[in-house]
């Protein structure tokens, strides 16, 4: 989107009444407070794992380490997915009318799913990692009981159903207002005049459609697992299951990132004094992304040499190609918005802007990691957590935290604190990048990921973990400063 695209977009106010608007705000604030609480708990679990790897928490046995690893991975991905969905739902109410009832159902379903996952992992010690590769759940080596397997899959099932219903409702609302083709800016793509599709609507629709595909894969995996678990004659194929699981997992993470980008498209322009609209280039890029996102997951299976060779090629080519529209359209657009603009730098704009920077730097790592020849040396080393923590912690998490900050201030009218915002962002970035660079450094020195403790021949891993603890401390201070400001505003908004 260039300067000529700077035509103001005036979203139709779709909320029926002020009372409905208040209910949406209250619900979204509740979501943000839950997200903060989960974030803190999951962050502490991450810290515990790094302490264990640094040989500073010897009481953490491997059984609990892997249970915590499973909860940390699934929990963080799920927490920020619902955070993004809640944020997008709230912003979407300015354009369309999603169902408040479904949004409340999503909250309850998510809480139930979380309780089941916590029971399976922290109580039942279910420790397969987030990706529960077939047939590991059935080979517990005496660690987790059968009920933990059931609770884990029940939790995933509840979350899968809940999030699918939630996604479908948002798509319904979008289709009702714009038609599905309209929400995907197809008239713009064809060069036809017609109702304008705001970029936020386009990105949200593209993201949600990709999300549906991921959830469909998750449902298939769960049904196949269930059939085997119940003792039927079904004997699942590990390679097929691995493909389905990574299709689901990679898709979910991608969707979360794209929903975060949708928030950037919506929240950043007003803070820069510029406006955006959807042109043909933007429409083409996001429609293309829906297709490409479905095939890039193959890069998770490069080290399965028996995977058909064509799929390996598609994995690398798709991963390279998808980075071009992301960089040329979205990242460039954000730079355009800020360049020489009278930006109102506050917690929201800082976290949105530097969240996009995290997306860009994580993208550099993603391209490297999706190169089969490089993946041969980096797969399942600490390089990989470096990449996805950059994408997540320093990317989409910052975008959603920016939304929460915006929401808290909008609800309470508390003025910006630019000095505090700069300090918070500085500590967050310093600690966060220190953390991810130490992960990458470990990967470059052949340290595997998902090791509860490093054996003697990989003793350097413990040293790197100790160094990273310094950066984690800085990061935690930054997060606490953020929460001191934003969580207080959200709390006030809840009780108002």
Query: Where in 19-48 is the site for other proteins (CB under 8 A)?
Result: none
Does 354 participate in binding other proteins (rule CB under 8 A)?
yes
Q: Measured from the CB of residue 199, what is the shortest distance to other proteins in angstroms?
A: 16
Kindly tell me which residue out of 367, 420, 462, 494 binds other proteins, with binding defined by CB under 8 A: 367
The rounded distance, in Å, linking the Cα atoms of 434 and 453 is 21
Which x/- pattern over 135-164 shows residues binding other proteins (rule: CB under 8 A)? Answer: xx--xxx-x---------------------
Q: Measured from the CB of residue 275, what is the shortest distance to other proteins in angstroms?
A: 14
The rounded distance, in Å, linking the Cα atoms of 358 and 397 is 10
Angle between helices 383-391 and 418-444 (to 10 degrees): 160
Find all residues with CB under 8 Å of 170, minimum gap 6, and list them.
Answer: 85, 88, 89, 92, 98, 204, 208
Is the CA virtual torsion 406, 363, 259, 36 positive or negative? Answer: negative
Q: Measured from the CB of residue 362, what is the shortest distance to other proteins in angstroms?
A: 9
The rounded distance, in Å, linking the Cα atoms of 185 and 367 is 28
Does 129 participate in binding other proteins (rule CB under 8 A)?
yes
What token pair was written down for 181? 């083709």
What token pair was written down for 37? 């609480």
Count of residues engaged in binding other proteins, rule: CB under 8 A: 87
Does 361 participate in binding other proteins (rule CB under 8 A)?
yes
Query: Where in 201-240 is the site for other proteins (CB under 8 A)?
Result: 237-239
CB nearer to other proteins: pick between 25 and 379: 379
Does 423 participate in binding other proteins (rule CB under 8 A)?
no
The rounded distance, in Å, linking the Cα atoms of 25 and 6 is 29
Kindly tell me which residue out of 16, 190, 380, 488 binds other proteins, with binding defined by CB under 8 A: 380
CB nearer to other proteins: pick between 93 and 390: 390
Between the CA atoms of 372, 377, 379 and 382, what dihedral angle is there, to the nearest 10 degrees? -140
Which x/- pattern over 109-128 shows residues binding other proteins (rule: CB under 8 A)? Answer: ------------------xx
Q: Hey, how many other C-beta atoms are within 10 angstroms of the C-beta on 293?
A: 24
Does 451 participate in binding other proteins (rule CB under 8 A)?
yes
**CB < 8 Å & 24+ apart, contacts of 34-40:** 34/107, 34/111, 35/79, 35/80, 35/82, 35/83, 35/86, 35/400, 35/404, 36/404, 36/483, 36/486, 36/487, 36/490, 38/75, 38/79, 38/114, 39/76, 39/79, 39/397, 39/479, 40/479, 40/483
CB nearer to other proteins: pick between 54 and 107: 54
Does 373 participate in binding other proteins (rule CB under 8 A)?
yes
Kindly tell me which residue out of 37, 108, 115, 133 binds other proteins, with binding defined by CB under 8 A: 133
Q: Which stretch binds other proteins (CB under 8 A): 20-28, 202-210, 353-361, 488-496?
A: 353-361
Kindly tell me which residue out of 3, 19, 230, 310 binds other proteins, with binding defined by CB under 8 A: 3
Q: Measured from the CB of residue 269, what is the shortest distance to other proteins in angstroms?
A: 14
Is the CA virtual torsion 289, 295, 300, 303 positive or negative? Answer: negative
Which x/- pattern over 250-279 shows residues binding other proteins (rule: CB under 8 A)? Answer: ----------------------xx------
Instruction: Compute the radius of gyration of the chain from its Cα atoms.
Output: 22
CB nearer to other proteins: pick between 127 and 187: 127
What is the C-alpha end-to-end distance of the chain, expressed in Å?
A: 39
Q: Is 341 helix (H, G, I), strand (E, B) or coil?
A: coil
Does 473 participate in binding other proteins (rule CB under 8 A)?
no
Does 458 participate in binding other proteins (rule CB under 8 A)?
yes
CB nearer to other proteins: pick between 140 and 167: 140
Distances (CA, A) of 318 to 311, 322, 486: 10, 6, 39
Does 462 participate in binding other proteins (rule CB under 8 A)?
no
CB nearer to other proteins: pick between 25 and 250: 250
Q: Measured from the CB of residue 496, what is the shortest distance to other proteins in angstroms?
A: 33
Q: Hey, how many other C-beta atoms are within 10 angstroms of the C-beta on 280?
A: 12
Query: Where in 297-326 is the site for other proteins (CB under 8 A)?
Result: 303-306, 309, 312-313, 316-317, 320, 323-324
CB nearer to other proteins: pick between 40 and 317: 317
Kindly tell me which residue out of 119, 368, 477, 494 binds other proteins, with binding defined by CB under 8 A: 368
What token pair was written down for 407? 């929401």
Kindly tell me which residue out of 87, 187, 269, 443 binds other proteins, with binding defined by CB under 8 A: 443
Q: Measured from the CB of residue 117, what is the shortest distance to other proteins in angstroms?
A: 17
Percentages (nearest 5) of helix, strand, coil residues in the chain: 75, 0, 25
Does 454 participate in binding other proteins (rule CB under 8 A)?
yes
Does 416 participate in binding other proteins (rule CB under 8 A)?
no
Identify which of 293, 305, 290, 306 has the alpha carbon closest to the alpha carbon of residue 246: 293
Kindly tell me which residue out of 146, 339, 418, 488 binds other proteins, with binding defined by CB under 8 A: 339
Q: Measured from the CB of residue 367, what is the shortest distance to other proteins in angstroms?
A: 7
Q: Measured from the CB of residue 442, what is the shortest distance to other proteins in angstroms?
A: 10
């Amino acid at each position: 989107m260039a300067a000529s695209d700077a035509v103001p977009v005036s979203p139709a106010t779709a909320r029926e009444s002020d009372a409905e608007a208040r209910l949406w705000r209250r619900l979204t604030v509740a979501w943000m407070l839950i997200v903060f609480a989960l974030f803190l708990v999951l962050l502490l679990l991450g810290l515990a794992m790094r302490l264990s790897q640094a040989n500073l928490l010897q009481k953490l046995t491997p059984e609990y380490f892997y249970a915590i690893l499973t909860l940390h991975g699934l929990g963080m991905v799920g927490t920020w997915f619902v955070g993004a969905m809640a944020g997008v739902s709230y912003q979407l109410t300015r354009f369309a009318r999603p169902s408040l009832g479904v949004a409340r159902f999503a909250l309850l379903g998510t809480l139930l799913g979380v309780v089941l996952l916590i029971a399976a992992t922290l109580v039942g010690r279910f420790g397969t990692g987030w990706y529960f590769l077939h047939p590991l759940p059935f080979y517990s080596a005496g660690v987790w009981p059968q009920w933990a397997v059931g609770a884990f899959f029940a939790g995933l099932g509840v979350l899968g159903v809940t999030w699918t219903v939630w996604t479908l409702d948002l798509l319904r609302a979008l289709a009702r207002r714009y038609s599905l083709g309209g929400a995907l800016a197809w008239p713009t793509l064809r060069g036809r005049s017609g109702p304008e599709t705001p970029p936020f609507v386009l990105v949200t629709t593209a993201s949600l459609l990709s999300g549906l595909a991921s959830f469909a894969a998750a449902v298939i995996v769960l049904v196949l697992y269930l059939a085997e678990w119940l003792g039927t004659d079904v004997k699942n194929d590990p390679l097929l299951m691995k493909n389905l699981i990574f299709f689901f997992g990679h898709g979910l993470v991608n969707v979360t990132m794209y929903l975060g980008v949708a928030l950037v498209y919506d929240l950043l322009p007003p803070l820069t004094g510029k406006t955006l609209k959807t042109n043909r280039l933007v429409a083409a890029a996001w429609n293309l992304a829906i297709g490409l996102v479905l095939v890039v997951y193959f890069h998770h299976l490069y080290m399965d040499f028996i995977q058909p060779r064509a799929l390996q090629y598609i994995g690398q080519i798709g991963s390279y190609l998808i980075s071009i529209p992301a960089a040329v359209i979205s990242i460039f657009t954000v730079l355009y918005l800020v360049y020489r603009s009278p930006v109102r730098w506050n917690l929201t704009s800082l976290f949105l802007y530097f969240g996009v920077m995290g997306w860009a730097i994580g993208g550099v790592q993603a391209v490297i990691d999706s190169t089969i020849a490089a993946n041969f040396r980096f797969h399942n080393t600490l390089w990989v957590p470096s990449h996805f923590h950059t994408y997540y912690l320093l990317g989409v998490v910052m975008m959603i935290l920016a939304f929460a900050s915006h929401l808290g201030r909008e609800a309470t009218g508390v003025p910006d604190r630019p000095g505090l915002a700069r300090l918070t962002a500085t500590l967050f970035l310093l600690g966060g990048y220190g953390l991810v660079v130490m992960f990458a450094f470990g990967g470059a020195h052949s340290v595997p990921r998902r090791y509860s403790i490093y054996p003697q021949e990989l003793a350097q891993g413990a040293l790197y973990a100790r160094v990273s603890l310094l950066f984690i401390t800085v990061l935690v201070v930054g997060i606490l400063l953020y929460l001191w400001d934003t969580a207080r505003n959200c709390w006030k908004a809840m009780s108002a």
